[in-house]
Structure 1
Amino acid sequence: MRIHLDTNLLIQTPRWERLPAGDHEFLVSAIAFAEFSEGTAHSNPAIAAHAAIELIQHRSTYGDGLPFTQREADIYRELCDLVATAGRTPGGKRRVDLMIAAIAIGDGAALATRNTTDFDGLQPLLSVITL
């Protein structure tokens, strides 16, 4: 199973024991790497340095982030419609979550996260795994 990791699983260690049985391939989107990269600009130099080292380690482990292309932009639009139809606003912080979800959907992958509520209402199109 292909599983995309949400940004929060780059920040906190995933609870791997919660994974469904089987073989898994883990991927990270370029959007998640970009969001994680915010830590490298932290005002505390020690925190910024730690984030920079972790970013290098994550890139080494998961490879280049999967891109957000026109295909994912079209999926993102569908997700915005789905969220708006449910009476929620798709913009703001939710924008990044929807972009990460669009990349996972475009890749035919599930999405693993600690914050499943960030992806509520997307389950018709996206399989969400709590780690």
Structure 2
Amino acid sequence: MAERAERGVLDTCAYLDLALLDPETLPRHPELTSVTMAELHQGVAMAKDPVARAARTEQTGAAMVDFAPTLPFDNDAAARYGSLVALTVGRRRDPRSHRLDLMIAAIASVHELPLYTRNAADFAGLESMVDVVAL
């Protein structure tokens, strides 16, 4: 078994499924990005009924408390995002449907942190710039 990372970035799907994951497969100190927080707030806004909205509000509130501060999408991440888009296009994939995933990956990459995800296929071809850990 690989040694557990000290720090790492959880993408949005990993955070949402956190209760289902074995803690030993995660970094000792998991982190979230500002992009994941935006996705969580989007989920609250797009909830189709009051029960779903309440559950999403609680999950977003917990993330705000448990993962503050988040890693920002700053100028360095913006530049890295462009490189990740180029790699994606080079694989003949449309980056538009994966914008937020690529932004999260860019943040992990500039901080030299592994990215933990339940959807590793979304990050195929980025291995030269980001360490993707499939959960």
TM-score (norm 1): 0.89
**Is 2:25 aligned against 1:19?**
yes
Shift, 1:113, TM fit: 0.6
Shift of residue 59 of structure 1? 1.8
Residues in 2 aligned to 1:87 and 1:54: alpha-carbon distance in whole angstroms: 35
Name the count of aligned residue pairs.
Answer: 128
* 1:119 matched to 2:123: yes
Could you tell me whether the CA contact under 8 Å between 1:18 and 1:130 is conserved in 2?
Answer: no
- Which residue of 1 is the match for residue 3 of structure 2? none
Residue 130 of structure 1 pairs with residue 134 of structure 2:
yes
- Structure 1 residue matching 2:71: 3-state secondary structure: coil
For the residues of structure 2 that align with 1:44 and 1:32, how far apart are their CA atoms? 22
| Letter aligned with residue 74 of structure 1 | A
Q: Which amino acid aligns with 2:68?
A: G
Specify the SS of the correspondent of 1:129: strand
2:43 to 16, 35, 39: 39
Q: Find 2:88's aligned residue among 73, 83, 96.
A: 83
Worse overlay, 112-121 or 9-18: 9-18
Q: Secondary structure at the match of 1:3?
A: strand
Distance 1:127 1:75 in 2: 14
Runs of 5+ in structure 2 lacking a partner? Answer: 1-5
The aligned counterpart of 1:7 is: 12
Partner Cα separation in structure 2 for residue 25 and residue 104 of structure 1: 14
Q: TM-score, normalised by structure 2?
A: 0.87
1:73 counterpart = 2:78? yes
Give every structure 1 segment of 4 or more consecutive aligned residues whose post-TM-superposition deviation is greater than 3 Å.
none
Deviation at 1:39, TM superposition (A): 2.1
- Per the TM alignment, residue 17 of structure 1 is displaced from its structure 2 partner at its CA by 5.0
Q: How far apart are residue 106 of structure 1 and its match?
A: 1.0
Alignment root-mean-square deviation, CA: 1.6
How far is the alpha carbon of 1:18 from its aligned partner? 5.6
In structure 2, do the counterparts of structure 1 residues 25 and 17 end up closer, same or farther at CA, with 3 Å as the change threshold?
closer
> 1:29: which partner in 2?
33
SS at match of 2:108: helix
Quote the Cα distance in structure 2 between the aligned partners of 1:62 and 1:126.
21
